[in-house]
Amino acid sequence: MRELERRFPREIAIIGVSSGKFIAERETARIREAALRLDNLHPIVNDRQFRIWRSYAVQAWPTVVAIDPKGYVVGSHAGEFTSEMLEPFVERLIGAFDPEGLIDRTPRHFPADAPAITPGVLRYPGKVTIDGDRMAIADSGHDRVLVGRLLNGTMRVDRVIESLSSPQGVAFAGERLYIADRAHHRVCFVDLPSGELETIAGHISSPWDLTVVGSAVYVAGAGRHQIWRIEGRSVSLFAGAPGEDIVDGPAQAALLAQPMGIAGGPDRVDFVDAESSAVRFATLGAGPKVHTIVGTGLFDFGDKDGVGDEVRLQHSQGIARHPDGRLLIADSYNDAIKWVDPATRRVETWIKGLSEPSGLVYHGGKVYVADTNAHRVAIIDEATGTIDTLSVVI
């Protein structure tokens, strides 16, 4: 939609309708932050009771409805779409109504609301990673990645990687830093000594996170509910059949639901499916298979600790491994960090009161959390649970 706004700035008016599936998505304050985070500056109505949804017979997210200058619905499309798909349709509408003088080209400008917390060095950070004393932060709201050295709660930045668009996942591999360049729908790497940026995989829909296992990079592709494997210049589908659901089985036949966080180990990759609020894993090696640890369905969500199928999360976006085998989950819409034991399927809330955390990493007895809507990286001491804020010095 942003591309359509750019292409037809005076011919079309876009109004967003937020009919939130998750409880957190029905809060106006969160909608406002999401709009700012995604640079959506058109008007948005909070359709929390689904009245507009029902009036236009909408049945899926996302759905676009086209209304002509006379107020009539002239088309709709459910599901993912690109600006290229809609441009010819819009051009035909303009051509049909322009001769009648019905296209109002009055310039429109909608000043953005202020965020609840004023950004500082960071703006809506997405993911974070650490390797030794090296640290990288996806400073998503500034369309950049910061790389530097970590010492005593301070990261001193020695490289700023730009030419990105809403980057998310970051992972070190020797002298390379791999980046999920989300809005450019590509995976790239930076040669850290030279600073050169190179694309290794394009046309991956919304790559949200990635992890390195051996010589392979595994990419959580949120847009098409799949996980991709990159080795050298070879890109292949690793897990996820077409469709969105929570179905286990052989990796390429399994159904995923918007994987947004992934963490690798020697024999498997663990990941979180945001739309099914699930924690899952896929085995590596011959005959890879997908298994679910917690999560039961696309509309089963909440905030409930427990074991197995009784657990409820809400749109989890981040996952990290602890040396003892447990998993740390950024339970984003519950503003929480939770422990998950893959062996027992037990989930326990550890930290509450964050602001839509979306990425995290464990390092040296501390957990570093991209506390997205607070525009910071929080540092949580494992032993005490105390929370500090990382100082980022450029």
Instruction: Mark which of 100, 120, 139 sits at the end of a domain.
Output: 100
- Identify whether 31 is part of a domain: yes
Are residues 94 and 145 located together in one domain of the fold? no
Its domain, for residue 36, covers 2-100
- Identify whether 378 is part of a domain: yes
What total of structural domains would you count in the chain? 2
Are residues 73 and 186 located together in one domain of the fold? no
Strand blocks (E) in 174-267: 176-181, 186-191, 196-202, 207-213, 216-221, 226-231, 234-239, 249-250, 259-264
Are residues 221 and 353 located together in one domain of the fold? yes
CA 356 to chain CA mean position, Å:
11
- Identify whether 106 is part of a domain: no
Are residues 303 and 383 located together in one domain of the fold? yes
Question: What pLDDT band is residue 35 in, cutting at 50, 70 and 90?
Answer: very high
- Identify whether 225 is part of a domain: yes
- Identify whether 190 is part of a domain: yes
pTM of the model: 0.94
Are residues 136 and 234 located together in one domain of the fold? yes
Strands 278-283 and 176-181: unpaired
Q: How many helices and strands in the chain, by DSSP H and E? A: 4, 31
- Identify whether 141 is part of a domain: yes
Cα separations in angstroms, 200 against 119, 173, 217: 32, 14, 11
Strands 278-283 and 226-231: unpaired
Are residues 86 and 221 located together in one domain of the fold? no
Tens-place pLDDT, residues 165-214: 999 999 999 999 999 999 999 999 999 999 999 999 999 999 999 999 99
Distance of alpha carbon 246 from alpha carbon 243, whole angstroms: 10
- H or E stretch covering 289: strand 289-294
Instruction: Mark which of 100, 115, 147 sits at the end of a domain.
Output: 100
Are residues 195 and 315 located together in one domain of the fold? yes
pLDDT at 229: 98
Average pLDDT over residues 142-155: 98
Q: Considering Cα of 343, then 349, then 351, then 356, what sign does the dihedral take?
A: positive
Tens-place pLDDT, residues 236-289: 999 999 999 999 999 999 999 999 999 999 999 999 999 999 999 999 999 999
